[in-house]
Chains A and B, each alone.
Chain A
């Protein structure tokens, strides 16, 4: 099946810093989603972005489908951004269930 690799696995930043999280995938995708899992365990939809660029406030994401990667940008980090960020995909021509990466654990220090 499709493989999803996220980097870095861990990231510690000071409040106000910017960060870039990366997701590489091994095959063409129909669906790519970024999630934030907060300290209460909830999976929050950030972006549905199988291709192109989207922005939502301090967050933006870009997927270059032809090169099989996606980037999540967080600007002016806040402590509430802490948590685990997951990239998940469904492969083109494959089943519809999402395959998740292992996540990036982000800690924003005040």
Chain B
């Protein structure tokens, strides 16, 4: 079975540009998580969805960041306008949440560099 698929793998863009990161969940999973990894802060949760509904977005840095789930199998994370401090590796993870907790499965990440 295919795992979580993220695109692009690498993105280099200039400050002020809009950036869109994409994530395809594992088939049948109903929870979607976006994480960010930086040297200073480590791995931290940005936002997560359950059954397409945003449940907790308290980790989203500011209004420049937005995330959507246009359907049950796909999500986007947008940064507009981007800034150099947004440079990081962004991971997407999915899981099947039901009566008991299940493990989260991570994509390979998108390495974002804002110049």
Contact = CB atoms under 8 A, between A and B. Distances in A.
Given A41-B89, A50-B101, A100-B42, A95 B106 contact: no
**Interface size, A (range):** 20 to 34
A105 to B, nearest CB: 12
B55 A96 contact: yes
Nearest to A44: B106
Nearest to A29: B101
**Interface size, B (range):** 20 to 34
Interface in B40-73: 42-45, 48, 50, 55-56, 59
A98 B104 CA distance: 9
B109 A41 contact: yes
Contacts of B33: 96-98
> Could you tell me the dominant secondary structure of chain A's interface residues?
strand
B105 interface: yes
Interface of A: 30-31, 33, 35, 41-43, 45, 48, 50, 86, 88, 90, 95-100, 102-103
